Amino acid sequence: MILRLHRLSRWLWQRRVPLLPRLIYLFIRIALTAVVPPSASIGKGVLLGYGGLGIVIHRRAVIGQRVNVGPKVTIGGRAGLDGAPVIEDDVLIGSGAQVLGPIRIGRGAKIGANAVVVRDVPAGATVVGIPARIVSHGNGGTQDVRQDARGTADAGIDLDA
């Protein structure tokens, strides 16, 4: 619902309708607990977790297509820096993550829950932590393999199923 209302308010805002985009923005902010200004560019196929609960998007942010955004995510600016994040297509942003400043998140990147991203993220990379750091390059041909408590490798395949 938030994205439909945002698309309507953006369409009106681009045609310089004076009051209606602002009223839609205020409705989204108060009734749906999200900040999604009409000037923010949001691509098709974007998914907002839990209906966009607690999401804050900077007025100049650019979000590509098929981006999955978890609840309570902030995509915003940073004090002293001019600009807003650009998020390319097919990105996954975990719950509570903060993407801050004039940075670019590459296509297919994954941002872990509660990560604070203040630097560019290359395409296909996975970042976690505060501040976020790269834990996997994804597209570089390497597989993200973790070891469980018994010391056996887990490549994300459940052999018991």
Which residues are catalytic, by number? 58
Q: Which two tokens stand for residue 130?
A: 């505060």
In whole angstroms, give the CA distance from residue 21 to residue 12. 6
Q: How far apart are CA 19 and CA 43, in angstroms?
A: 24
